[in-house]
Amino acid sequence: MRCPSCKSSKNKVIDSRLTESGEAVRRRRVCLDCGRRFTTKERIEDELRLSVVKTDGTRVPYQRDKVLHGAERACYKLDVSDTQLQELADRVEEELLRNHDREVTSEQIGLYVGQQLRRLNQVAYVRFMSVYRKYNNVEEFVEEIRDVKELVAQEIPSQQSLFES
Ligand SMILES: [Zn+2]
The model's pLDDT over 38-56, given as tens digits with 9 standing for 90+, comes to 998 877 665 567 899 888 8
CA of 37 to the centre of ligand 1 (A): 8
pLDDT in tens, the chain (165 residues): 789 999 999 998 888 887 777 677 788 899 999 999 999 887 766 556 789 988 888 999 888 888 888 888 889 889 999 889 988 988 898 888 888 888 998 888 888 999 999 999 988 888 888 776 654 444 554 555 556 555 555 544 444 444 443
CA angle centred on 107, ends 101 and 108, rounded to 5°: 40
Query: Cα(2) to centroid of ligand 1, in Å?
Result: 8
Which helix (H) or strand (E) covers residue 31, if one does? strand 24-31
Q: Give, to the nearest 10 degrees, the angle between helix 106-120 and helix 122-132.
A: 160
- Please give the Cα distance from 63 to 119 (Å, whole number): 22
Give the Å distance between the CA of 96 and the centre of ligand 1.
26
What element of type H or E holds 123?
helix 122-132
Q: What is the spatial distance between Cα 11 and Cα 33, in angstroms, rounded to a whole number?
A: 8
CA of 122 to the centre of ligand 1 (A): 48
CA dist 77 and 16 (Å) reads: 37
What's the CA-to-centroid distance between 14 and ligand 1, angstroms?
15
Mean pLDDT of the chain: 79
Q: Is 0.85 surpassed by the pTM of this model?
A: no
Residue 38 CA, ligand 1 centroid: distance in Å: 9
The Å distance, Cα 5 to ligand 1 centre, comes to 5
Could you tell me if 60 and 106 are in contact, meaning their C-beta atoms sit under 8 angstroms apart? no
Ligand 1 centroid to 11 CA: how many Å?
8
Give the three-state DSSP class for 58: coil
Distance 140 CA to ligand 1 centre (A): 46
> From the CA of 51, how far away is ligand 1's center (Å)?
25
> Domain boundaries in the chain?
1-47, 49-159
- Residue 41 Cα, ligand 1 centroid: separation in angstroms? 18
